[in-house]
Amino acid sequence: MNIALVIAGGSGNRMGQDIPKQFIHVDGCPIIIHTLLAFQNHPDIHSIAVVCLKGWETVLQSYANQFSISKLEHIYPGGSTGMESIHNGIYGLKEDGYEDDDFVLIHDSVRPLLSQEIISNNIAICKEYGCAITGIQCREAILQSDDGFVTRTSIPRDTLIRTQTPQTFRLGNIISVHEEAKAKGIMNSVASCTLIAEVGGRDMHVVPGSEKNIKITTTEDLEILKALMHTHKESWLK
């Protein structure tokens, strides 16, 4: 079984708005619903679970009903950090009877332009290798700075990957990673891929992502999202 685990436990403080960014409307629809529709419309996704910010569970379910997100079967409580929210989600799935061999696609609720191709490739790569991390090669020149203002050091970009989501695992494997992290005192890794790197001992296989698969963090990102939603590839482009 393939389960989408959508992480919506954050309050979106960096956006500076009165409501969490995942519930901001774009084109008459909350961002999180745009995200859930990507999984709803994929034939190989069997179930959707959302880790939701406390107090917004009823709002989420109401929107899911309104926009016919019939695959939404579970809503779990958000944590104080992203890592804790993912922990709540994967352990919630385990408690609800999902098997260790089931595939879990962990995805940010505020990446609404997720393509069907990326979902399919995540499932395929995870089936073959046991782990799939969506990412794109870095194209910009990268500098290293301790304070964000002064730098003398560059980092070769050829070996750098900018990660996105989904990040896909067998349920039993990602639970094992969280168990090892707990034993090692790792409590606040920023993503599943960084947690695996910190725990060590496991290869991660990269699924090609997309520049359109943006994460909405600032009001500028909202402007970019709106532009992307109304832009189509010219027919003459190869």
Q: What is the pTM of this model?
A: 0.95
Contacts of residue 134, defined as CB under 8 A and 6 or more positions apart, other chains included, come to 118, 122, 163, 164, 165, 166, 167, 206, 207, 208, 209, 213
Degrees, nearest 5: CA angle 208-154-188: 60
Structure tokens at 231: 């832009």
Position 15 scores a pLDDT of 78
Integer Cα distance of 8 and 24 in angstroms = 12
Averaged pLDDT of the chain: 96
The percent of residues in the chain predicted with pLDDT above 70, rounded, is: 100
Predicted confidence (pLDDT) at residue 209 exceeds the cutoff of 80: yes
Position 233 scores a pLDDT of 84
Predicted confidence (pLDDT) at residue 11 exceeds the cutoff of 80: no
pLDDT level of residue 205 (50, 70, 90 thresholds): very high
Structure tokens at 82: 């992203």
Predicted confidence (pLDDT) at residue 235 exceeds the cutoff of 90: no
pLDDT level of residue 238 (50, 70, 90 thresholds): confident
Contacts of residue 99, defined as CB under 8 A and 6 or more positions apart, other chains included, come to 1, 171, 172
CATH assignment, 2-131+164-229: 3.90.550.10
Listed by start position, the domains of the chain span 2-131+164-229
Tens digits of residue pLDDT in 160-203: 999 999 999 999 999 999 999 999 999 999 999 999 999 999 99
pLDDT level of residue 18 (50, 70, 90 thresholds): confident
Weakest-pLDDT range from 10-24, 33-47, 140-154, 174-188? 10-24
Tens digits of residue pLDDT in 31-48: 999 999 999 999 999 999
* 142-144 vs 153-155, strand pairing mode: antiparallel
Position 230 scores a pLDDT of 92
Position 93 scores a pLDDT of 98
Tens digits of residue pLDDT in 73-109: 999 999 999 999 999 999 999 999 999 999 999 999 9
